[in-house]
Amino acid sequence: MKHLSIIILGLLTFNSTAQNDSTFIKSIYNEALSNGKSHEDLRSLCKDVGARLTGSAEAAMAVEWGKNKLEGYGFDKVYLQEIKVPHWERGTKEAGWIKNNNGELIKVHLLALGGSIGTNGLLEAEVIEFKRLDALKAAKKKKVQGKIVFINQPMDEQQINTFRAYGGCYPMRGNGAVEAGRLGAVAVVIRSLGIPIDEHPHTGGMNYNDSIEKIPAAALSTIDAEKLSEVLENGKARFVLEMDCRSYPVVTSYNVIGELSGSEKQNEIITFGGHLDSWDTGEGAHDDGAGIVHSMEALRILKELKYKPKHTLRVVFFMNEENGNMGGKTYAKIVKEKGEKQIAALESDRGGFAPRGFGCDGTQEQVEFLKSLVHHFKPYELSTFEKGYGGVDIRPLKDEYEGIPLFGFIPDSQRYFDFHHSPNDVFENVNKRELELGCAAMASFLYLIDQKL
């Protein structure tokens, strides 16, 4: 009889806890959808500050904006963390033309890749096409030397998860200038990493190798990549390019940090956030303004509902994810040197679309823990709880804290690469309700891991 009483008490406790979780999560969603601040906060970041390329005046204003917002929401601590960041500028607007074998000019839409050198005036040369980066790597130097390399590798539209398609093409952008420069090319232009066929070029970071001569690197819009390929099918062509971009010495910037102090385990930290910087071509709305407001709004909701976290919940607006990740690297180094106990981290950096779930970069046991949370989210149509990637900004924590679980917010991916790194990444292309649902998912996930880790 005594054992039966213990079993009944355990079941009652379990049911009570489950009911409390369900009720609280419902209150989170109600607050996000009826009283949410995320959409207006995103509008302010995009319109009042603008695009926030590391080292720019807008990036400096974004730091002020972030600190003011966190202070305005009354979190327990708000402060800046100094970091050193690279400073690259696009300069005057890029220009480019295809010149076919009849001498006719076709103007194209293009953007310099982040970190590229300029052309030092007009640069003109014969253009040679490669369908994949691997084909360029296998080419003979005499075929490439003195020419402009065009890498026309499309994202795989058959991939349902578009981030996998992006991953398949990223080396073309990251390493195209190195491989083309190794063979004596004078410049490289790539097909933009985007699925739609449109006139919006997509920029993004690229690499150089100090042992190989640096050459200018740019991205063509997908519609212009199609045009150039068609011209080359009918004979030889030349490409004319001008870019005025350049790099400057490193500058001082800041991560922006806010906290709700833990009530039981104040010295154990759950870090979460997104990156405050963006490329300079749109407004950085999906990448990563959405992640910034997801994270800030999640903490605001928990505070508004008078939730007292067990662990310290720390939101971080990381600076410089796009072209150096110095915010993430510096943060991880500083918290380790301070002797902090970081127990988990969460990042939102995949846009402001409807939430689908969370991924875990961790052990099998940590992945199983993540999967155990799925039933809490079924009423809200989240079902993807699987092994995956945390995020660029929180990844350095893995180097400092062996075994730390890194979680990544997963929204629907189908439209993300319509906007990513392009002039089209503006506030108007973020849906208010989808953004609010993402904030509620983030707040609910933080609540659950705070309760159950």
Q: Is the peptide bond before 210 cis (omega within 30 degrees of 0)?
A: no
CB-CB neighbours of 105 under 10 Å: 11
pLDDT of residue 15: 52
**453 residues of the chain, pLDDT tens digit each:** 444 444 444 444 445 566 799 999 999 999 999 999 999 999 999 999 999 999 999 999 999 999 999 999 999 999 999 999 999 999 988 999 999 988 899 999 999 999 999 999 999 999 999 999 999 999 999 999 999 999 999 999 999 999 999 999 999 999 999 999 999 999 999 999 999 999 999 999 999 999 999 999 999 999 999 999 999 999 999 999 999 999 999 999 999 999 999 999 999 999 999 999 999 999 999 999 999 999 999 999 999 999 999 999 999 999 999 999 999 999 999 999 999 999 999 999 999 999 999 999 999 999 999 999 999 999 999 999 999 999 999 999 999 999 999 999 999 999 999 999 999 999 999 999 999 999 999 999 999 999 999
CATH number at 91-244: 3.50.30.30
pLDDT of residue 12: 42
pLDDT of residue 11: 40
pLDDT of residue 16: 54
Helix 432-452 and helix 290-304: axis angle, to 10°?
60
CB neighbour list of residue 447: distance below 8 Å, 6 or more residues apart = 21, 24, 25, 28, 302, 307
Domain boundaries, the chain: 27-88+249-452, 91-244
pLDDT of residue 230: 97
405 close to 344: Cβ distance less than 8 angstroms: yes
Phi/psi of residue 299, nearest 5 degrees: -70, -40
CATH number at 27-88+249-452: 3.40.630.10
CB-CB neighbours of 34 under 10 Å: 8
What is the Cα–Cα distance from 371 to 239, expressed in whole angstroms?
52
Q: Name 13's bridge partners.
A: none
What is the Cα–Cα distance from 150 to 128, expressed in whole angstroms?
6
What is the Cα–Cα distance from 153 to 96, expressed in whole angstroms?
19
What is the Cα–Cα distance from 372 to 199, expressed in whole angstroms?
44
pLDDT of residue 1: 47
pLDDT of residue 5: 46
Q: Which residues carry out catalysis?
A: 321
pTM of the model: 0.94
pLDDT of residue 13: 45
Phi/psi of residue 404, nearest 5 degrees: -70, 135
